[in-house]
Amino acid sequence: MKILVIEDDLRVAELIQRALKEEYFETDIAYDGYYGKRLALQGNYDLIITDIVLPKIDGIELCKEVKQVLPDTPIIMLTALGTTDDKLQGFDAGADDYLVKPFEMRELLARIRVCLKRSQKMAKSATVLLKYADLEMNLHSKLVKRADKVISLTPKEFNLLQYMMQNPERVLSRIEIAEKVWNTHFDTGTNFIDVYINYLRKKIDKDFSCRLIHTKPGMGFILQVENENKN
C-alpha cells in the first residue's frame, strides 16, 4: 500500500511517515499543496493524508481537485480546526475522514485501515470483468469465456468459479468454499464441493492444454496456471 502525506510541519510529517513505515506502508511526503497535488495525480496512491492549512494550495482546494480526477482515492484530512463547520467543509470537499490535531498515531492508523478497507470493498464490488489467464467472467452479463470460447455454467458453478477468480493462486479449503459460496457449514460426510469442482473442470479445463483448476491434497483447491498432468 502506498500513502501520500501532505503536511508543511516537518516534524509532524516525519512522525507520520515513521509510523506508516513501521506498519509497512510505502510513504511519500509533500510539504506544500501544489507539490502535493502533483504527486497525488501522478503517484497512484492508495490513500492521501493532507493538512488543511498548507502553502500554495490549501487542503480543501487540493481535496476538491484530486477528487475530480481520482474520486475513489480515500483522503484523510488533518487540521487544528475542529469546529463542526470546518469538518463539514472538509467533507463537502470530498474528504473521507477528518482528524483534529493533536491526535494519537494509533487513531490515525485505525482511520487509515478503515478507509482502505472501505475503498477496497467498493473497488471489488465495482469490478465487472474478472480475468485470469485466458479465462474471463462478466459479472453483469454472466458470460464466461475461455480463449474467446463461451462456456455455459449453472448458477452454482458460476458462483463457485467467481469466488475462485476473486481469489486466484490461493488454496481454498472446502470449509471456506462451503461458507463463502454455499453459505453453509461444510459436512465432512459429503463431497458436493468436489462434485462441483469436477463439473467446473469438465467445462473450464477439458478442451484446453493448460489446466487452471487444481486439487491440493488434504488442503483444498486452487485456481492457478499449471501445465503439469496432475490434479
Q: Is 69 left (phi over 0), alpha (psi -120 to 50) or beta?
A: alpha
As separate numbers, helices (DSSP H) first and strands (DSSP E) second, the chain gives 8, 11
Spatial separation of the C-alpha atoms in residues 103 and 184, rounded to whole Å: 43
Boundary (domain end) residue, out of 78, 95, 126: 126
Q: State pLDDT tens for residues 105-138.
A: 999 999 999 898 887 766 666 668 899 999 999 9
Q: Mean per-residue pLDDT for 145-165?
A: 91
Tell whether omega for the bond before 102 is within 30 degrees of 0, i.e. cis: yes
In this structure, are 122 and 156 located in the same domain? no
Domain hosting residue 70, numbered range? 2-126
- Per the structure, the count of domains in the chain is 2
Boundary (domain end) residue, out of 111, 126, 141: 126
In this structure, are 146 and 114 located in the same domain? no
Q: State pLDDT tens for residues 39-84.
A: 999 878 999 999 999 999 999 999 999 988 888 899 999 888 766 6
In this structure, are 121 and 89 located in the same domain? yes
Sequence letter at residue 183: N
CATH number of the domain within which 109 lies: 3.40.50.2300
In this structure, are 92 and 134 located in the same domain? no
CATH number of the domain within which 194 lies: 1.10.10.10
Spatial separation of the C-alpha atoms in residues 174 and 189, rounded to whole Å: 12
Boundary (domain end) residue, out of 89, 111, 126: 126
User: Is 209 within a domain?
Assistant: yes
In this structure, are 92 and 162 located in the same domain? no
CB atoms near residue 100 (< 10 Å): 14
